[in-house]
Amino acid sequence: MTMLNDITLGQYYPSDSFIHRLDPRTKIVSLFLLMSRLLVSFEFVVLLGFVFVILLALIFSRLPLALVFRNIRPFVWLFLLTVLVHLFWTRGHIIARTPILGLAITREGLHLGLIYSLRLALLIILAAMLTLSTSPIELTDALEKLLAPLKRLKAPTHEIVMMLTLSLRFIPTLLEEAQRLKNAQASRGASFDGNIIRRIKSIVPLIIPLFIAAFRRADDLAAAMDSRCYTGGDGRTSFKLLRFGIADYLVLASSALALCAIIFSKF
């Protein structure tokens, strides 16, 4: 449960940095391009290049390194599972065998396990950087602008974006609620220590109160929106108009060129 406090997805870290001043559409499109490049990259050299780019972006964003990298901690078990699955179930050159079950450890499995774990960690860091450097209101405006062409197909883009933004916004609130429920249970003598099975059993009593709290917050939010005569996206305007600057065009062009370079290098 303490690891849930390490997740900063949905939180915003205010700062007057180069990354914060970029148009939110630029950050979303650049993030999509970076993630696309990660999904087609299988070489350590290319991934190390991504690490350098991300560190450079962290410097320009002035985000605390501890605040960004602590998002990786809750997913360490997933990284280990990814490495183990590829390590024992990927065929190739055998470098060792386990002494108990005699499972073969292959060089190709070790390589793929590290590659996929590193790619997953970089994806988590990129998503955390986006939410930390972009306010929920900016995300809402940017997504609505990017999905505007779908309005011609009668798609409720404003409502879809509103639901996505609210879901992202309430992640920290639900994590805080889970921590409060855990502290309340601990004050009544509940124990959250022990092996993995005991920890899972101790978390089960927190699930129902957490769902009740989530539904209660959703009902309060719906009542607040209704009392303010919220009727959807028809005729609504934005307080801050989004405009691309020279820096936005340079970042988008660099991201697109890097993606094209990686894709054409495969052929």
Q: What are the structural domain ranges in the chain?
A: 1-134+244-267, 170-236
* C-alpha span between 190 and 170 (Å, rounded): 27
pLDDT at residue number 265: 63
Strands 104-106 and 94-97: antiparallel
Exposed e or buried b per residue across 255-266, where buried means at least 16 C-beta atoms within 10 angstroms of its C-beta: beebbeebeeee
* C-alpha span between 58 and 129 (Å, rounded): 8
Write the CB contacts of 235 (distance below 8 Å, at least 6 apart in sequence): none
Rounding to the nearest 10 degrees, give the CA dihedral for residues 248, 253, 256, 261.
-150
Neighbours of 190 (CB within 10 A): 13
Q: Is the dihedral angle over the CA atoms 124, 206, 5, 141 positive or is it negative? A: positive
Spell out where the chain has E strands.
94-97, 104-106
> What is the mean pLDDT, run by run of 10 residues, along the chain of 267 residues?
58 87 91 83 80 88 85 84 84 76 78 88 88 85 84 80 79 80 78 69 78 85 84 68 88 83 64
pLDDT at residue number 131: 86
pLDDT at residue number 26: 93
* C-alpha span between 255 and 26 (Å, rounded): 10
